[in-house]
Amino acid sequence: MLSASRVAPPPQPPPPPCAVADEWRTWSSEEQVHFSMLVRLLDWEQTAAVTLRFRDEVELSQVLGATVSDYASAASLSSFTLPLPPVQPNGGGVQVLGTASSPLRHAVELSCAAVARHPPPSPPHAAECELGATYAVTSSWGEAQMVELRLPRWEVERVLTLRYWGGQFVERVSQLQGGVELTEMWDEADGSVIKLRMLGGEEAAGRALAAAAPRKITFQLSPPVRFLPKVSCHDPWPPPPPRSPPAAPPLPPPSPSSPPPPSPLPPRHPPPLPPPPLLPPLSPPSAADSISTHAAASPKATPRLAFARLTWSDLLLFAAGVLLVVAGGSSFLRRLTLGPHRPAPIADALEQTATAAADGGDESQYAKDSCGHSEHREAELWEDLD
């Protein structure tokens, strides 16, 4: 009976190298061994740095196309890390030159570090820079790179903003040419920001906007950057307003067999207030109270109600008073009218009294008789007048 045995899978082939050491050369001079090689990257754009490991004690004398950022050396072991510029040099790789105390017995080992993934900024559009600015890297090496900025249109005093991203920080801007000046430069969380102010030139003199031959701006950046910056010709746009939530879809029409939807519940109301306490019954008002209350309520009925409260004795007294006032008034009027014009008999009696007194007679007796007669006559005259 045959038994099945498991067969081990074949080994996986090693991953393809990310870089190769090409054009290797060695020579000796003054008890030292010199070497030279060209490090070529298979994917330059996706490689951020390459590390060289030697199993011999070596020193690097020159690196063309990159910089040395990390160096480690121990007994029979040397390691160098070379950050790569974003643009591949013209030679197609990084030229490395070094020395060793003895001939190299082992080949160099190469390893690569991939470019960190950063979300790119929103792509520029026509509204970002209506002057048509384009950014390009013309040359790059280990310590710096040359940049060219082309503008088909030119506006004096306009400010160009270069915003670098992906963790790229610029330390120095030099060799600035092309009619611009550096006004500001600062670092943000994700990269550096550079502002360039456009100056007036011969073709832009006297005009705010010149559409002459394209202008070219060149400058040098240190250290070199990998990602192209975002170029804008105006201040940052305000953020867009927040989106409103989508409207709810309409309800489907009810089917004939489905029951009608329940009616909405009535709004909740607070419980009714308790009834007020019962008051004791009021006693009926008296006649006098009702009359006085009615009199106070209606001012026009006040004289009639007051006259209704008079008794017959009050009315009789009031009538007698009126008669007395009328009689006294008429007598007073007669006396006032006839006072200075007494009747002729009274005047004659007074004149006779005065004549008798002048003759020397019994003046007193005559005067008494005359006065009595006069008073009696006056009384008769008053009665006739009445």
Structure token digits, residue 209: 């906007």
Which regions of the chain does DSSP assign to beta strands (E)? 19-29, 32-41, 47-54, 58-64, 70-74, 77-83, 94-100, 109-114, 134-140, 145-151, 154-155, 159-163, 172-177, 180-187, 192-198, 209-210, 215-222, 230-232
| Integer-rounded Cα radius of gyration of the chain | 68
Distance CA 275, CA 259 (A): 42
Distance CA 170, CA 186 (A): 9
Distance CA 28, CA 131 (A): 58
Structure token digits, residue 82: 């070379």
Distance CA 66, CA 89 (A): 9
Q: Of 140, 136, 143, 157, which Cα lies nearest the Cα of 229?
A: 136
pLDDT of residue 196: 94
- The number of helix segments (H) and strand segments (E) in the chain equals 5, 18
The DSSP line for 43-100 is SSTTEEEEEEEESS-EEEEEEESS---EEEEETTEEEEEEEPPSS--TTSSEEEEEEE
pLDDT of residue 161: 93
Q: Of 125, 41, 129, which Cα lies nearest the Cα of 82?
A: 41
Distance CA 170, CA 167 (A): 10
Distance CA 101, CA 282 (A): 131
pLDDT of residue 289: 53
Helix axes 312-338, 363-385, angle to 10 degrees: 120
pLDDT of residue 192: 93
pLDDT of residue 306: 47
pLDDT of residue 170: 92
Tens digit of pLDDT at every position of the chain (386 positions)? 455 556 667 776 666 788 888 888 888 887 888 999 999 888 887 788 889 888 888 888 888 878 787 777 666 788 888 888 777 776 678 889 998 888 888 788 888 888 777 666 666 555 578 888 889 888 877 788 899 999 888 888 889 999 998 888 899 999 999 889 999 999 998 889 999 999 876 544 444 444 455 789 999 999 888 888 989 887 666 667 788 778 888 877 767 676 676 777 766 766 677 777 776 666 665 555 554 444 444 444 444 444 455 677 777 888 887 887 777 666 655 555 555 444 455 455 555 555 554 555 454 454 445 445 555 555 555 555 54
Q: Contact, 195 vs 158, CB < 8 A?
A: no
pLDDT of residue 184: 93
Q: Dmax over Cα atoms in the chain, in whole Å?
A: 214
Structure token digits, residue 265: 């519940």
Q: Of 70, 43, 165, 48, which Cα lies nearest the Cα of 114?
A: 48
Q: Contact, 207 vs 183, CB < 8 A?
A: no
The DSSP line for 161-191 is EEE--SSB---EEEEEESSEEEEEEEE-SSB
DSSP 11: P
Q: Of 171, 147, 143, 173, which Cα lies nearest the Cα of 227?
A: 147
Distance CA 117, CA 82 (A): 19
Contacts with 252 (C-beta within 8 Å, 6 or more apart), sequence order: none
Residue with token string 């920080």:
169
pLDDT of residue 314: 74
Beta carbons within 10 angstroms of residue 186's beta carbon: 8
CA torsion 359-361-364-368 (nearest 10°) is: -90
CA torsion 178-182-188-192 (nearest 10°) is: 30
pLDDT of residue 218: 94
